[in-house]
Amino acid sequence: MTVKRLGILTGGGDCAGLNAVIRAVTKCASWQYGMQVIGIRDGFAGLIGKPRTVNITTSMVKGLLSRGGTILGSSNKANPFAHREMVKGKLIESDHSDEVIQNLKELEIDCLLIVGGDGTNVIGLQFFKRGVNVIGIPKTIDNDLAATDITFGFDTAVNVVMEAIDRLQTTAESHHRVMLIETMGRNAGWIALQAGLAAGADVILIPEIPFTVEKVVAAIKERQAAGRMFTIISMAEGAKPRDGDVVIKQIIKDSAETIRLGGISQLLANQLENAGAGECRATILGHIQRGGAPTAFDRNLCTRLGTEAVHAAARGEFGKMVVIQETKIQTVDIAEAVRQIRLVDPQGEWVRVARDTGVSFGDE
C-alpha cells in the first residue's frame, strides 16, 4: 500500500529525545515521501473518545532537536484494551480498542508510529494483531527493551545521574559521609550501573544482584581503614537485599503500571548508620532523570530511528520496531522486542569491569 498519512504518538513515561524523534519523522516523511504527519495527543488517550490530534508540519518542528519532553504529551495510564478510571471512588476497567481502531480509520491514518517502551509497544502489538499498521520506536530511560542495544533517553539519564554523583563526591569528601544516590530503572539496574561506573561510585546496588547490609558495611569500613573517609553508593530503585524485597513508594490503582518503586536508599542509609558505617545521606533523583535537553548521542540516535521508521512505513514493514544493533539501525518484529525485559547480566562485561576496578555490589 502507499502510505500517505502517518500517525505518531508518544506513550508511557517521558524522556529526553521524544521531540527529536517527532522532528526526524516529520522532516523525513515530508521531504522524502510527501507524507502528512498526524500527531496524537497524550499517547493512546488521544484516540479514546473524540480524537485529539494535530497536523505536524516541518515548520512546527523547528527547535525540537534540543528540547526535552514531548510536544504531543504522553500518558502511562491509557491502555485502550484495559482502560482504568476511578468513577465515584470505584475502579472501572473497560476495553476501548474498537473505538481506537475506528478513530484511526476516520482519521485516514495509514500507519501509526508508536514511540514508547515495553508497555506502550505491547499495546501496539495488540493493535497490529487486529489489523492496524503499526511501527514501534523504542524509548525508555530504563534501557530494558530487548532486541535493541540501547533505547533513546537512556544516555541522557545516565549523564544526569553521573553529574549528580560528581557533585555528591565533593560534599561527601568534605563531611566524611556515605552518600547514597537512588536512580530510576524499575527492575533493571542499567542507569545505576553505567552512571555509577562513569562517576566512580564505590558501591553499586542493582536489582539483578541482591545485596546484604553486612557486605555494604564491610566495603565502607574497608575504605575507611585505607584512609578514604567517604563512600559513594549508586543504587537502583529496584535494588533489594538478598533476603528482602523491593521498597514500594506508591500504588496507583488507575495506572497500567500500578506499583511505583522508591525509597530503598533512605531505608539503607538508616540501616548503614545503625550498623556503624558512619553518617549517611540519601538523595533520590526521581524525575529529574527524565527532563532536560538530550545528549548528542540521544539526538543522533533519535534522528536515525525516526527517519528509519518512516522508511519502514514506506516499505510496508508493519508490525516492526526500528532498533540499533551493533551500531546499525534495522527493524525487528515488535513481538521479539517485547518478548522479555532486558536486564543487566550479573556475569556480563559491565559488572565485570566494575568489579575489576574495585566496585562492590554488596554481595561478596
Pull the grid cell for residue 246: 523491593
Q: Residue ranges of the domains in the chain?
A: 5-152+292-337, 156-290+345-356
pLDDT along the chain (364 residues), means of 10: 94 94 98 98 96 97 96 90 84 92 98 95 96 96 94 97 96 95 95 98 98 97 96 97 88 73 94 95 94 97 98 97 96 93 96 98 94
Contacts of residue 284, defined as CB under 8 A and 6 or more positions apart, other chains included, come to 182, 262, 263, 265, 266
- Fold agreement (5-152+292-337, 156-290+345-356): yes
Does residue 142 carry a catalytic annotation?
A: yes
Cell numbers given for 125: 502489538
Which pLDDT value is given to residue 61? 97
The DSSP element (H or E) to which 38 belongs, if any, is strand 36-40
Catalytic site residue from 42, 142, 144, 202: 142
| pLDDT of 39 | 98
Which architecture characterizes domain 5-152+292-337 according to CATH? Answer: 3-Layer(aba) Sandwich (3.40)
pLDDT of residue 274: 96
CATH class of the 156-290+345-356 domain in this structure = alpha beta
SS (H, E, C) 74-132: CCCCCCCCCEEEEECCEEEEECCHHHHHHHHHHCCCCEEEEEECHHHHHHHHHHHHCCC
**343 DSSP assignment:** -
